[in-house]
Amino acid sequence: MISRKHILILLIGLIAYSFGYSQKQIQYKQIDSTALFMQVYQPEAIEPAKKYPALVFFFGGGWNGGSIDQFKPQASYFSQRGLICFLVDYRVNQRQHTTPFESLMDAKSAIRYIREHANRFHIDPSKIIAAGGSAGGHLAAATALIEDYNENTDNLSISCIPNALVLFNPVIDNGPGGYGYDRIGDAYKNFSPLHNIKKSAPPTIFFLGTNDALIPEETAKYYQTVMKKVGSKCELYLYNGQGHGFFNYKNFEYYKKTVSEADKFLQSLGFLNKEPFIEIN
Give the pLDDT mean for 45-70. 96
Look at residues 220, 213, 205 and name the one whose alpha carbon lies nearest to residue 243. Answer: 213
What percentage of the chain reaches a pLDDT higher than 90? Answer: 90
Look at strands 24-31 and 34-41 and give their pairing. Answer: antiparallel
Q: How far apart are CA 74 and CA 9, in angstroms?
A: 25
Q: Three-state DSSP class for 70?
A: helix
How remote is the C-alpha of 56 from its chain's centroid? Answer: 5
pLDDT score for 248: 98
Q: What angle do CA 273, 48, 44 make, to 5 degrees?
A: 60
pTM here is 0.92
Look at strands 52-58 and 84-88 and give their pairing. Answer: parallel
pLDDT score for 22: 54
Q: How far apart are CA 194 and CA 172, in angstroms?
A: 5
What percentage of the chain reaches a pLDDT higher than 70? Answer: 92
Q: How far apart are CA 154 and CA 106, in angstroms?
A: 10
For the chain, the average pLDDT equals 93
pLDDT at 2 over 90: no
Q: Three-state DSSP class for 44?
A: coil
Q: How far apart are CA 64 and CA 210, in angstroms?
A: 24
Look at residues 129, 109, 134 and name the one whose alpha carbon lies nearest to residue 59. Answer: 134
With left for phi above 0 and alpha for psi between -120 and 50, is residue 82 left, alpha or beta? left
Q: What is the per-residue pLDDT across 4-52, written as a single tens digit (0 to 9) for each?
A: 533 333 333 333 433 444 578 999 999 999 999 999 999 988 998 999 9
Q: Three-state DSSP class for 39?
A: strand
Q: What is the per-residue pLDDT across 151-194, written as a single tens digit (0 to 9) for each?
A: 999 999 999 999 999 999 999 999 999 999 999 999 999 999 99
What is the helix (H) or strand (E) element at residue 228, kind and residue range? helix 217-229
Give the pLDDT mean for 261-272. 98
Look at strands 84-88 and 123-133 and give their pairing. Answer: unpaired
Give the pLDDT mean for 105-116. 98
CA distances from 16 to 8, 23, 76, 252 (A): 12, 10, 10, 20
Cα dihedral 97, 58, 142, 27 sign? positive
Cα dihedral 105, 106, 110, 111 sign? negative
Q: What is the per-residue pLDDT across 85-101, written as a single tens digit (0 to 9) for each?
A: 999 999 999 999 999 99
pLDDT score for 24: 87
For residue 244, which phi and psi values (nearest 5 degrees)? -65, 135
Q: How far apart are CA 38 and CA 111, in angstroms?
A: 11
